[in-house]
Structure 1
Amino acid sequence: MSYAERALRTLSAGNRTLLRAQDEQTLLQEMCRVIVELGGYRMAWVGYAQHDEARTIRPMAHLGFDEGFLELGRFTWAEGESEESRGPTAQAIRSGKPAVVQDTTKLAGTQLPIPLAETLRRGYASIAAFPLIIEREAIGNLTIFAAEPDAFDECERNLLAEMADDLAFGIATLRMRERHREAEETIRHMAYFDALTDLPNRSSLNARLAAEIAQAQKENQSMAVLLMKVGRFQEISDTLGYLEGDHLIVEMGKRLLHIAGPNKSVARVGEDEFAIIMPHASAEAASRVAHHAMRDVCDPVSFAGLAMDPHAYIGISLFPGHGNTPETLLRRAKIAAVQARRTACKYTLYKGTEDRESTQRLALMSELRSAIDQNELLLYCQPKVAIRSGEICGAEALVRWQHPQHGMIATGDFIALAERAGLIMPLTRWVLEAAFRQSYAWLERGIRRPLSVNLSAQDLRDPRLIDRISGLFATWALPPELMQFELTESALMEDPAGALETLGHLKDLGVELYIDDFGIGYSSLSYLQKLPVDSLKIDHSFVTSMLTNAGSEVIVHSTVELGHNLGLGVVAEGVESEALWDHLQELGCDTAQGHFVGRPIPTAQFDEWEAQSPWSHPAPDGASAGVLH
Structure 2
Amino acid sequence: MSYAERALRTLSAGNRTLLRAQDEQTLLQDMCRVIVELGGYRMAWVGFAEHDEQRTLRPVAHHGFEEGFFDIAHFTWAEGEGGPTAEAVRTGKRAVAQDVSTLVADHFPIPLTEALSRGYASVAAFPLIIAGEVAGNLTIFAAERDAFDESECALLGEMADDLAFGISTLRMRVRHQQAEETIRHMAYFDALTDLPNRTSLHENLSATIEGAQRENQSLAVLLLKVGRFQEISDTLGYQEGDHLIVEMAARLAHIAGDNKSVARVGEDEFALILPNASAETATRTAHHAMREVCDPVSICGLTMDPHAYIGIALYPGHGNTPDALLRRAKIAAVQAKNTACKYTLYRGTEDRESTRRLALMSDLRRAIDQNELLLYCQPKVVIKSGEVCGAEALVRWQHPQHGMIATGEFIALAEHAGLIMPLTRWVLEAAFRQSYSWYESGMRRPLSVNLSAQDLRDPRLIERITGLFATWAMPPEMMQFELTESALMEDPAGALETLARLKAMGVELFIDDFGTGYSSLSYLQKLPVDSLKIDQSFVMSMLANAGSAIIVRSTVELGHNLGLGVVAEGVESEAVWDRLQTLGCDTAQGHFVGRPIPTAQFNDWEAQSPWSRPAPVIEDRPLN
TM superposition score normalised by structure 1 = 0.58
Distance apart, 1:420 and its partner CA: 6.1
1:373–1:25 Cα change, 3 Å: closer
Residue in 2 that maps onto 1:118: 114
1-structure distance, mates of 2:305, 2:99: 79
Residue in 2 that maps onto 1:566: none
Which of 326, 334, 345 lines up with 1:338 in the alignment? Answer: 334
| Contact preservation (8 Å) 1:44, 1:144 | yes
- CA offsets 1:158-216 (integer angstroms, 9 cap, x no match): 00000000101111111111111111111111111111111111111111111111111
Residue in 2 that maps onto 1:293: 289
1:36–1:191 Cα change, 3 Å: same
1:397-416 alignment, distance < 5 Å = none
| Contact preservation (8 Å) 1:369, 1:423 | no
Residue in 2 that maps onto 1:134: 130
Residue in 1 that maps onto 2:480: none
Identical-residue share of aligned pairs (%): 72
What is the one-letter code of the residue matched to 1:276?
L
Residue in 2 that maps onto 1:435: none
Residue in 2 that maps onto 1:203: 199
Residue in 1 that maps onto 2:147: 151
Residue in 2 that maps onto 1:324: 320
| Contact preservation (8 Å) 1:127, 1:146 | yes
Matched, 1:232 2:263: no
Matched, 1:307 2:303: yes
Matched, 1:46 2:46: yes
* SS of equivalent residue, structure 1 residue 143: strand
1:371–1:4 Cα change, 3 Å: closer
1-structure distance, mates of 2:367, 2:151: 89
Which of 201, 218, 224 lines up with 1:222 in the alignment? Answer: 218
1-structure distance, mates of 2:402, 2:23: 61
Distance apart, 1:52 and its partner CA: 2.6
| Contact preservation (8 Å) 1:365, 1:417 | no
* SS of equivalent residue, structure 2 residue 105: coil
1-structure distance, mates of 2:363, 2:335: 26
Which of 259, 283, 290 lines up with 2:255 in the alignment? Answer: 259
Which of 162, 174, 186 lines up with 2:182 in the alignment? Answer: 186
- CA offsets 1:248-284 (integer angstroms, 9 cap, x no match): 1111111100001111111110011111111111111
* SS of equivalent residue, structure 2 residue 232: helix
- CA offsets 1:59-110 (integer angstroms, 9 cap, x no match): 11101111121121221223x33x33xx211111111111111111112413
1-structure distance, mates of 2:183, 2:39: 44
Residue in 2 that maps onto 1:30: 30
What is the one-letter code of the residue matched to 1:106?
T
Which of 344, 359, 363 lines up with 1:364 in the alignment? Answer: 359
2-structure distance, mates of 1:3, 1:229: 76
1:285–1:418 Cα change, 3 Å: farther
| Contact preservation (8 Å) 1:6, 1:39 | yes
Distance apart, 1:361 and its partner CA: 3.8
Which of 239, 246, 253 lines up with 1:243 in the alignment? Answer: 239
- CA offsets 1:526-569 (integer angstroms, 9 cap, x no match): xxxxxxxxxxxxxxxxxxxxxxxxxxxxxxxxxxxxxxxxxxxx
1:420–1:340 Cα change, 3 Å: farther
Structure label with greater radius of gyration: 1
2-structure distance, mates of 1:13, 1:142: 16
2-structure distance, mates of 1:416, 1:193: 40
What is the one-letter code of the residue matched to 1:135?
A
Which structure has more RCO (C-alpha within 8 Å, separation ≥ 6)?
Answer: 2
* SS of equivalent residue, structure 1 residue 138: strand
2-structure distance, mates of 1:99, 1:175: 27
Distance apart, 1:220 and its partner CA: 0.7
1:415–1:298 Cα change, 3 Å: farther
What is the one-letter code of the residue matched to 1:105?
S
What is the one-letter code of the residue matched to 2:149?
D
Residue in 1 that maps onto 2:541: none
Matched, 1:76 2:76: yes
Distance apart, 1:55 and its partner CA: 2.2
Residue in 2 that maps onto 1:67: 67
Distance apart, 1:421 and its partner CA: 5.3
Residue in 2 that maps onto 1:283: 279
Matched, 1:15 2:15: yes
| Contact preservation (8 Å) 1:100, 1:128 | yes
What is the one-letter code of the residue matched to 1:335?
I
| Contact preservation (8 Å) 1:365, 1:421 | no
| Contact preservation (8 Å) 1:92, 1:131 | yes
Distance apart, 1:415 and its partner CA: 10
1-structure distance, mates of 2:320, 2:401: 32
Distance apart, 1:233 and its partner CA: 0.9
Unaligned segments of structure 2, at least 5 residues: 371-398, 410-624
Distance apart, 1:369 and its partner CA: 4.8
* SS of equivalent residue, structure 2 residue 106: coil
1-structure distance, mates of 2:99, 2:157: 19
1-structure distance, mates of 2:216, 2:403: 44
What is the one-letter code of the residue matched to 1:57?
L
Matched, 1:58 2:58: yes
* SS of equivalent residue, structure 1 residue 266: strand
Distance apart, 1:48 and its partner CA: 1.1
- CA offsets 1:328-359 (integer angstroms, 9 cap, x no match): 10010001010111111111111001112x45
| Contact preservation (8 Å) 1:224, 1:317 | yes
Distance apart, 1:24 and its partner CA: 0.7
Residue in 2 that maps onto 1:98: 94
* SS of equivalent residue, structure 2 residue 351: helix
What is the one-letter code of the residue matched to 1:70?
F
1-structure distance, mates of 2:235, 2:15: 64
What is the one-letter code of the residue matched to 2:75?
F
1-structure distance, mates of 2:366, 2:116: 99
| Contact preservation (8 Å) 1:41, 1:144 | yes
How large is the RMSD of aligned CA atoms in angstroms? 2.3
* SS of equivalent residue, structure 1 residue 353: coil
2-structure distance, mates of 1:233, 1:247: 10
* SS of equivalent residue, structure 1 residue 355: coil
* SS of equivalent residue, structure 2 residue 350: helix
What is the one-letter code of the residue matched to 1:41?
Y
1-structure distance, mates of 2:313, 2:168: 52
1-structure distance, mates of 2:114, 2:90: 25
| Contact preservation (8 Å) 1:260, 1:289 | no
| Contact preservation (8 Å) 1:361, 1:417 | no
1-structure distance, mates of 2:238, 2:173: 38
Distance apart, 1:306 and its partner CA: 2.0
1-structure distance, mates of 2:45, 2:354: 72
* SS of equivalent residue, structure 2 residue 107: coil
Distance apart, 1:51 and its partner CA: 2.4
What is the one-letter code of the residue matched to 2:305?
D
Unaligned segments of structure 1, at least 5 residues: 376-413, 425-629
What is the one-letter code of the residue matched to 2:276?
H
* SS of equivalent residue, structure 1 residue 354: coil
1:48–1:373 Cα change, 3 Å: closer
* SS of equivalent residue, structure 2 residue 224: strand
